[in-house]
Structure 1
Amino acid sequence: MIRILTITGLLFSIQLTAKDDPKYPISAVPAELKENANVVVREDHVKFKILEKNRATHYVHYVVTILNEKGKDYASHDVWYDKLTRIVNLSGAVYDAQGNVVKKLKDKEVYDHASYDGFTLFSDDRIKSIDLSQSIYPYTVEFEYVLEYKFLYYIPSSWWGGENISYQHASYELSYPPAIAPRFKLFNIEAAPRKLLGSGFETLTWTFENIKPIKLESFGPPRSEIIPHIIAAPSQFEFEGYAGKMDSWQEFGQWIISLNKGRDVLPDETKAKVKSITSVLKTTEEKVKALYEYMQNKTRYVGIQLGIGGYQPFEASVVDKNGYGDCKALSNYMVALCKEAGITANYVLINAGAGTSFNIDFPSTQFNHAITAVPNGKDTLWLECTSQTNPFDYQGKFTGDRKALMITNAGASVVKTIRYKPEDNLQSRTAYIYIDATGNAKALIKTTHTGIQYENGGLNSALSNTENQRKWIERNTEVPNFNINSFSMTEKKDKIPSAIVNLDLTLSRYASVSGKRLFVSPNLMNKNSYVPPKTEERKTDVVLQSDYLDLDTIKISLPENIYPEFLPEPIKINSRFGEYEASFKFDAGKVTYIRKMKVWKGRFPKETYNELVDFYKNVSKADNTKLVFLNKT
């Protein structure tokens, strides 16, 4: 209570003096912090105080100067809360370029709303949203608030830096009883904390000044390897009566086991259904596939964010009865179905989506999703349980090729999910193009997208109906001036799935005519146009994010009496990053163009960056090769 009163007094003091004393004038910002910046964070102070294993306070003071319209988003702020998180104080203000108060935040300007995403059925998450944006630049906004937590499961991290943002003053403070000291880890930070002892608490404080904008380089590592930040986690914690430890993954796994205990019991009718489904099948894979498809047909995904329910799954019997659940509940349900069939299945926590980073040596809550894994001899079957259409044992971009935490009877172990080879991520295209004398053409195109490329442009999500298919074609057919005569799509839900797209197109002015010459670009739909900029001072390693293979065979039928004036020699480009081949052949009035490009995922020394630039530059040049034909009549 003393701490809260102190902060309240501070806020009151700010409000009293703001009228008379200018604050945060733009003239007080060093010139180097404004260079290449859209915003300058003047103050960024976080104080997290652990009171007990299940209570904490979180103080935030954030002041940011918006230099131009590109930084406008920083004038808005969201504060999340729920039944276990209380907002004690929330204030805000706007200052002009001289530091004079323009306005102070009023209660009616705070938009209090549910955190509803369209898929969430049960949630007590709410957001207080504030927008203090102004039309005259530069200006400064200030936010200050305190949160009280009735749990201790995670500790907010702090990040300082990024593109077009600089920091003038920042600090991060952890305060705690020594008996329940949290853990922390520093990234791209060398500063040692100031340490204080008093009133039964130990306090660590890191302070920073004058952090310039950080340029993120093309094909660079993830932000977590570049941006200065601190992460922290409790060693001991309690969440709505569930006590646990987080010093090791084994201990964290034991806590997850305690959450899930007794929640894998199925109704008798469903037990009988499981036996009926699996009794005629021989292998583990056949049985799991059948149960997975049963689960997909029976359930649908909804979000559950109610207190401990944000981390604890519904009972399998509830999912069975209602036919819905979130990722935790559906994964737990799949585990229960397998268990009833005598098959061991494991609940898996994973960081799904674009962010694949995972700090193995820092046990903490680093996960946003749950899936199911079934050991199958030397292999593992991976099951995404929130999708009614996902192919069996396919992970793809959402959960593939990353580390995850598998919950086992012994606790937990770190595992690696599927990484597909370039040949698995294949895009294979065959096109027949018929050019008339005016340069217009008809094209019949068949493209097979396999593995990760099954998701190209959201293709896998567009397969459900004709309207979505047409929209996908219009967005992803990289041909100028085309009309769709007809199209069709088919899907194969193998373990490495594929989708076939058939197109019948009319191409307006596909070839350009000049006198007796006809100019054709044989690469119909797969030109690489991006070439990263060269640099003499590369700072970070080169990172390629995916393995893939593209094969294109384009057969071009020419008008009568049209012959090539010349054909390019075959092209070969080899590098440590990938390989490229292209060939051109003329026979009986037809040109056959064959293109192959393979790229390997990997991490390469920063000294190789300009080699990568040359690789893509040469590929782009090859892809834009034009063929010249002559009318010999």
Structure 2
Amino acid sequence: MKRISAVICGVLLWMSSVAKDSPKFPVSAIPEALRKDVHVVMREDQMVFTIHSKSRATYHVYQAITIFNANGKRFAQETVGYDKLSKVTSLKAAVYDAEGMLIKRLKSSEIYDQSAYDGYSLYNDNRIKRIDLSQSTYPYTVEFEYDIEFRYLFFIPDFYVVTRENVSVQHSVCKYVFPKELAPRYRSYNIDVKPVSQPADGLESLSWTFENILPIKLDPMGPDLQYVLPHIDGAPTQFEYEGYVGTMDTWDQFGQWIGTLNSGRNVLPEATKQKIRALTAQAKTDEEKIKILYEYMQSKTRYVSIQLGIGGFQPFEASVVDQTGYGDCKALSNYMVSMLKEVGIPAHYVLIRAGDDASPMDTDFPSSQFNHAIVSVPNKGDTLWLECTSQTNPFGYIGTFTGDRKALVITDKGAKVVNTKRYPADQNVQSRTADVYVAATGDAQAKVTTTYRGLQYETNYVHAAVNLQYDDQRKWVQNHTAIPSFDVNSFSLVNHKDKMPSAQVLLDLRLSRFASVNGKRIFLTPNLMNRSTFVAEKVDARKMPVVLESGFTDLDTIRYHLPDGVYPEFLPEPVKITSRFGEYESRCILDDKGLLYVRRLKQVKGQFPAESYKEFADFYKGVNKADNVKIVLLSKT
């Protein structure tokens, strides 16, 4: 019996050893096509979101990811967030070598649990569990598995089949499990796979399965990655968040729920009511009143982020903001609406997706798509938009942060989708005039005045420069003056904080070796400091549309004062280029005051067919050539 027992124990030990050493996710099992030109292969990517009730859901994630080089290192790190209304109930991870042999399993001591403090949140109960399984030898495979329990139902995590360029997918599954009466809604993008519906332990389920997905390659000057990634968005219809019950299958219903959160939070202290009435007593128009109160709010408050349970969606009371002088975008917007109401001006709280690179709102899919709040004020057909989190923003200017996009205006009856202010190319103007005094040695003196208006006030960072100290302004001038060699004799910046803001930059420059001298000839490029160098990247078999994110107009008028006895030997012919992407013209004019160079470039914002890319490349090729042409001056002596 002892001998039999020993044999059985040996067999069991051997089986245990074999099981322990069995390879998992060997790199050799990846199809060759999925390995080509990638940093990462998603071996498995599974998400299961289960709706248990209007106030409870669970979220399961399982991923196995093979990392081929340092460019994919970030995939070896995982961050799982939670707060007082959500709990991480399970978290496991492991890492395997190229042959699929286990290197290590995650220990609880290797999970970094910390506050998700972002540096500006005053109230924040968000926390994260962070894992890093990075290895120095490639390739290797990381495996993550975790579960989160939500004590609310307000959103469903997005599922991205592919997350970025140079990533392929071997197998992935997105699955929703739910009671029939709480069936979620969904919207798929760049996906032709249909969901499979089937019962699941007394519940219903929808699932999408993807296999052998090749990496995405972006075309230059095409849509941002977020527009082309295949992904699925989900949203509940009936939901509950900290006792606030709602539905969101229409924007009106979603707006009614937001209205419930905001209800009763617009009451101001009596002393404040009297003060704002006094501030606006002499104003002759509603717009003047709005401007007075907006600038009063800017001087009185500062922005802090609030990320605390329902506080992530519900504003502080207006009286709290008035007393403390701080609030997040929701609280400050609600405060602004409350002040305007006190002087008889109706205004609306607006939800929006902010950021100059934010993906557009899907207006056909009512759901929580927003990360910011602003204010809209009807103003005789010209709606005013107010960004309430900035202490320096010009009145009525929202710029690239929230301009020209869809937003949700919350009304007394619900909500409506609107478009925020557009800034067309003719309003985004950089206008430059200069007098350049050229010496026979090739050196020069220049007095330059540049006005930045509309979005160019922002995209050239002059909106920030006007608020800097002298030394930092001087650095800005050095960095934004596109002349090969110059010294700044003096400069000044003048800010004009209007609805269409602008700023003037005045420069007095000394230009060393501005022109080249060769015997009796002087060679100079008349385009003083706005020469295009953009070269469109060559593309074979382009598939994506051409996207120009901004529209603008540049105007340059440069007066050259020539030395005595010097006259032009060669002047370039006038250039005029017209295309669907914009217009360009430049010319040199000789008159009794010297030489005048005039240039105009207009680029229009828009999306254009993929086959137009060559035309786009040719347009800027022509601009580059004209911008860098030289004139030849000849001395009579």
The alignment's TM-score, normalised by the length of structure 1, stands at: 0.94
CA 1:76 to 1:295, structure 2 compared with 1: closer, same or farther past 3 Å? same
Q: Aligned partners of 2:399 and 2:316: how far apart in 1? A: 26
What is residue 177 of structure 2 aligned with on the other side? Answer: 175
What is residue 603 of structure 2 aligned with on the other side? Answer: 599
What is residue 184 of structure 1 aligned with on the other side? Answer: 186
What is residue 468 of structure 1 aligned with on the other side? Answer: 472
What is residue 581 of structure 1 aligned with on the other side? Answer: 585
Q: Is the 8 A contact 1:187 1:224 kept in 2?
A: no
What is residue 67 of structure 1 aligned with on the other side? Answer: 68
What is residue 307 of structure 2 aligned with on the other side? Answer: 305
Q: Is the 8 A contact 1:560 1:589 kept in 2?
A: no
Q: Aligned partners of 1:166 and 1:559: how far apart in 2? A: 64
Quote how far apart the aligned CAs of 1:420 are.
1.7
What is residue 26 of structure 2 aligned with on the other side? Answer: 25
**Amino acid corresponding to residue 180 of structure 1 in structure 2:** L
Q: Is the 8 A contact 2:23 2:101 kept in 1?
A: yes
Quote how far apart the aligned CAs of 1:16 are.
9.9
**Amino acid corresponding to residue 488 of structure 1 in structure 2:** S
Q: Aligned partners of 2:108 and 2:560: how far apart in 1? A: 68
Q: Is the 8 A contact 1:18 1:101 kept in 2?
A: no
Quote how far apart the aligned CAs of 1:456 are.
2.3
**Pairwise mapping of residues 326-341 of structure 1 onto structure 2 (< 5 A)?**
326-341=328-343
Quote how far apart the aligned CAs of 1:553 are.
1.2
Q: Secondary structure at the match of 2:315?
A: coil
**Amino acid corresponding to residue 101 of structure 1 in structure 2:** L
What is residue 4 of structure 2 aligned with on the other side? Answer: none
For residue 384 of structure 2, the aligned residue among 376, 381, 399 is 381
Quote how far apart the aligned CAs of 1:467 are.
3.4
Q: Is the 8 A contact 1:192 1:206 kept in 2?
A: yes
Q: Secondary structure at the match of 2:509?
A: strand
Q: Secondary structure at the match of 2:52?
A: strand
What is residue 422 of structure 2 aligned with on the other side? Answer: 419
Structure number with greater Rg is: 2
**Amino acid corresponding to residue 59 of structure 1 in structure 2:** H
Q: Aligned partners of 1:322 and 1:175: how far apart in 2? A: 45
Q: Does 1:493 align with 2:494?
A: no
**Pairwise mapping of residues 190-339 of structure 1 onto structure 2 (< 5 A)?**
190-339=192-341
What is residue 365 of structure 1 aligned with on the other side? Answer: 368
Q: Aligned partners of 1:589 and 1:565: how far apart in 2? A: 17
Q: Is the 8 A contact 2:226 2:359 kept in 1?
A: no
Structure 2: give runs of 5+ residues left out of the alignment: 1-15
CA 1:431 to 1:131, structure 2 compared with 1: closer, same or farther past 3 Å? farther
**Pairwise mapping of residues 392-403 of structure 1 onto structure 2 (< 5 A)?**
392-403=395-406
Structure 1, 286-295 or 112-121: larger mean CA deviation: 112-121
Quote how far apart the aligned CAs of 1:164 are.
1.4
Q: Aligned partners of 1:459 and 1:128: how far apart in 2? A: 40
Q: Aligned partners of 1:382 and 1:499: how far apart in 2? A: 21
Q: Does 1:94 align with 2:98?
A: no
Q: Does 1:630 align with 2:634?
A: yes
Q: Aligned partners of 1:350 and 1:431: how far apart in 2? A: 41
Q: Aligned partners of 1:399 and 1:69: how far apart in 2? A: 36
Q: Secondary structure at the match of 1:270?
A: helix
**Amino acid corresponding to residue 287 of structure 1 in structure 2:** K
Q: Aligned partners of 1:324 and 1:301: how far apart in 2? A: 6
Q: Secondary structure at the match of 2:446?
A: strand
Q: Aligned partners of 1:598 and 1:360: how far apart in 2? A: 31
Structure 1, 164-173 or 620-629: larger mean CA deviation: 620-629
Structure 1, 262-271 or 196-205: larger mean CA deviation: 196-205
Q: Aligned partners of 2:17 and 2:227: how far apart in 1? A: 42
Q: Is the 8 A contact 1:535 1:610 kept in 2?
A: no
Q: Aligned partners of 2:106 and 2:483: how far apart in 1? A: 51
Q: Aligned partners of 2:497 and 2:307: how far apart in 1? A: 32
Q: Is the 8 A contact 1:90 1:146 kept in 2?
A: yes
Q: Does 1:80 align with 2:120?
A: no
Structure 1: give runs of 5+ residues left out of the alignment: 1-14
What is residue 409 of structure 2 aligned with on the other side? Answer: 406
Quote how far apart the aligned CAs of 1:356 are.
4.3
**Pairwise mapping of residues 487-526 of structure 1 onto structure 2 (< 5 A)?**
487-526=491-530
Q: Secondary structure at the match of 1:614?
A: helix
For residue 557 of structure 2, the aligned residue among 548, 553, 572 is 553
State how many pairs are aligned: 619
Q: Is the 8 A contact 1:431 1:445 kept in 2?
A: yes
Q: Secondary structure at the match of 1:379?
A: coil
Q: Is the 8 A contact 1:562 1:589 kept in 2?
A: no
Q: Is the 8 A contact 2:227 2:359 kept in 1?
A: no
Q: CA-to-partner distance for each residue in 1:368-421, whole Å, 9 max, x for gaps?
A: 100011111212111000011111111110110001000001100001111122
Quote how far apart the aligned CAs of 1:441 are.
2.8
**Pairwise mapping of residues 127-166 of structure 1 onto structure 2 (< 5 A)?**
127-161=128-162, 162-166=164-168
What is residue 7 of structure 1 aligned with on the other side? Answer: none
Quote how far apart the aligned CAs of 1:57 are.
0.8
Q: Secondary structure at the match of 1:376?
A: coil
**Amino acid corresponding to residue 473 of structure 1 in structure 2:** V
Q: Is the 8 A contact 1:548 1:600 kept in 2?
A: yes
Q: Aligned partners of 1:431 and 1:17: how far apart in 2? A: 80
Q: Is the 8 A contact 2:49 2:176 kept in 1?
A: yes
CA 1:268 to 1:533, structure 2 compared with 1: closer, same or farther past 3 Å? same
The alignment's TM-score, normalised by the length of structure 2, stands at: 0.94
Structure 1, 211-220 or 145-154: larger mean CA deviation: 211-220
Quote how far apart the aligned CAs of 1:443 are.
2.4
Q: Aligned partners of 1:458 and 1:84: how far apart in 2? A: 40
Quote how far apart the aligned CAs of 1:570 are.
0.5
Q: Aligned partners of 1:209 and 1:220: how far apart in 2? A: 26
Quote how far apart the aligned CAs of 1:17 are.
8.4
